[in-house]
Amino acid sequence: ILPVLRFPDERLRTVAKPVSNFTPELQEIIDNMVETMYAEHGIGLAATQVDVHEQIIVIDVSEDKSQLYVIINPEVISQEGETGIEEGCLSIPDCRGFVPRSEKIKIKALDRNGNPYEIDADELLAICIQHEMDHLKGKLFVDYLSPLKRQRIEQKMRKLTREEQKNR
Ligand SMILES: O=C(O)C[C@@H](Cc1ccccc1)[C@H](O)SCc1ccccc1
Ligand SMILES: [Zn+2]
């Protein structure tokens, strides 16, 4: 299980580079991300969140961990409509904020073996893909909130991190 970077850690603002080599190390990173996502009860995780700055996303919005997507070097083909929910983030624990998203999104990506494929998503999968693709661009859901709300969340996170360090 990998440690998840916590807002406002500046490393979360790093823009991820495309994956160029499909090595055993990459497979190890993917397996560790999947394990971390499930352990933290997330439905998605971007490599940026575990301080790996390559374009790797894992997603599973199913109830029974039966629909794992490994999404490498994603590109948006098309998107339409408008939707949004109160989003959360494993890097911003116990905080929620409404984020406007496209209702449907079609992306092109590579799977864990480097084979190209497409995902035509709607509902929670579409929202999750957009949330994770933002992470790869160093963007967080708090960036869509008002400065006041973002500042409150930043203070809450700093306090949480300080307390955790005291308890060590
Ligand atoms: O930090 C992450 O990227 C994991 C996110 C993914 C996500 C956030 C908002 C909306 C969809 C996906 C979450 O922490 S996973 C936890 C969760 C589960 C269901 C709904 C909202 C948040
Ligand atoms: Zn997130």
* Residue 35 neighbours by CB distance under 10 Å: 14
133-165 pLDDT tens trace: 999 999 999 999 999 999 999 999 999 999 999
**pLDDT recorded at residue 147:** 97
Q: Which ligand neighbours the alpha carbon of 98 most closely?
A: 1
Task: Return the biggest CA–CA distance within the chain.
Answer: 47
Q: Is the pTM of this model over 0.90?
A: yes
**Does the CB atom of residue 95 touch ligand 1 within 6 A?**
no
Q: Quick check: 129 pLDDT over 90? A: yes
Distance CA 52, CA 158 (A): 22
95-111 pLDDT tens trace: 999 999 999 999 999 99
Task: Kindly calculate the radius of gyration of the chain based on its CA atoms and give it in whole angstroms.
Answer: 16
Q: Quick check: 168 pLDDT over 90? A: no
Contacts of 125 (CB under 8 A, 6+ apart): 59, 61, 119
Mean pLDDT of 57-72: 97
**Does the CB atom of residue 12 touch ligand 1 within 6 A?**
no
> Predicted ipTM?
0.93
Residue ranges of the annotated binding site for Fe cation are 89, 131, 135
Q: What is the mean pLDDT of the chain?
A: 97
